[in-house]
Amino acid sequence: MTSTDRQPLRPTRQRIAVTEALASFDDFRSAQEIHDLLDRRGAKVGLATVYRTLQRLSESHEVDMLRTEDGEAVYRRCSDTHHHHLVCRECGATVEIEGPAVERWTNAMAAEHGFADVSHTLEIFGTCPRH
Amino acid sequence: MTSTDRQPLRPTRQRIAVTEALASFDDFRSAQEIHDLLDRRGAKVGLATVYRTLQRLSESHEVDMLRTEDGEAVYRRCSDTHHHHLVCRECGATVEIEGPAVERWTNAMAAEHGFADVSHTLEIFGTCPRH
DNA sequence: AGCAACATGAGAATGATTGTCAACTCGGCA
DNA sequence: TGCCGAGTTGACAATCATTCTCATGTTGCT
């Protein structure tokens, strides 16, 4: 197992603020957007801290992180089970989806070619009913 | 259909060089790496041109483009059918894989939630047998 | 209280990618 | 063959997200 684990995060004012911000929206947002949100709320949190916090949270799977088509990292709070996303290209609306069959398939493919330590990324993009 | 199409590319010396470079390796490489490769070969092609060419080629699906975990775009020549990749985290070795079942599944999921214009990304990472 | 490890913020630094724009090339066509 | 407009190119500046630095706060514990 590749050691992804670290010490538990200290519940500092800043980290709490970031977590609360994450709880206030449902779509994927960039670190900068979250930083702006905090600013507007009056929470003084440095941009670097927002980046660091989101990074740690995504490493521990407390938030989902994915990359937009132009490579920007965006974050969103998430449930604790492994899942994927159906994301609206227009408004960012997101639906978490699970697919045991897909998980099985990726593992089978990897096994078939002798790959170990397998992980995968799967995101579905489209335009939601409202668009 | 979102107009992804453009005029056919003119077969300039530079574009030919990039295409040839792409034919010379099997793994995913960044625009900068490809530029270096061209340099070493003595082909004088500007970095911006390499970026522009790769972009056009990937838009027309003549090359695959995916993002590494840190968001960098990497390219690789590809077959003309829709497919995904099994990529070695260590050496970049890549296996193209197809999964009709997955395609069906993503479409079904999108349909179920009323999403239109669906596309998806799916990449599998692991360490290949040689590592 | 007192210490060591962990966190933070401001700003500089990095690095990939894109924009700018004058010079150049290509593919017709008169 | 010579000319023209659209498409291309290259050198370099400009963006922009993200990371690094490091001096200064905080936290958890004893």
> For chain B, what is the mean pLDDT?
91
Handedness of CA B57, B58, B60, B61 (dihedral sign): positive
The pLDDT of residue B4 is 43
Q: Give the DSSP H/E element, type plus range, for residue A89.
A: none
d(Cα A17, Cα A33) in Å, to the nearest integer?
14
pLDDT band at A3 (very low <50, low <70, confident <90, very high): very low
The pLDDT of residue A92 is 83
- Of all protein residues, which has its CA closest to the C1' atom of C19? B48
Q: Which residue has the higher pLDDT, B92 or B72?
A: B72
| pTM as predicted | 0.89
Tell me: pLDDT of B89 over 90: no
pLDDT band at B128 (very low <50, low <70, confident <90, very high): very high
Per the CB < 8 A criterion, the answer to whether A127 and A89 are in contact is yes
Which chain D positions come under 7 Å from a protein C-beta?
7-12, 17-21, 26-28
B122 reaches A (C-beta below 8 A)? yes
Per the CB < 8 A criterion, the answer to whether A120 and B123 are in contact is yes
B82 reaches A (C-beta below 8 A)? no
Write b or e for each residue in B63-77: b if 16 or more Cβ atoms lie within 10 A of its Cβ, otherwise e.
Answer: bbbbbbeeeebbbbe
Question: Within a 10 A sphere around the Cβ of A125, how many other Cβ atoms?
Answer: 19
| Residue among A113, A117, A124 whose CB faces B86 most closely | A113
List of B residues 59-118 with CB within 7 A of strand D: 70-71
Mean pLDDT of B29-51: 97
Tell me: pLDDT of A2 over 50: no
Structure tokens at B20: 């040839």
Per the CB < 8 A criterion, the answer to whether A88 and A131 are in contact is yes
Mean pLDDT of B20-38: 96
Alpha-carbon dihedral A96, A99, A105, A108, rounded to 10 degrees: 90
pLDDT per residue as tens digits for the range A37-50: 999 999 999 999 99
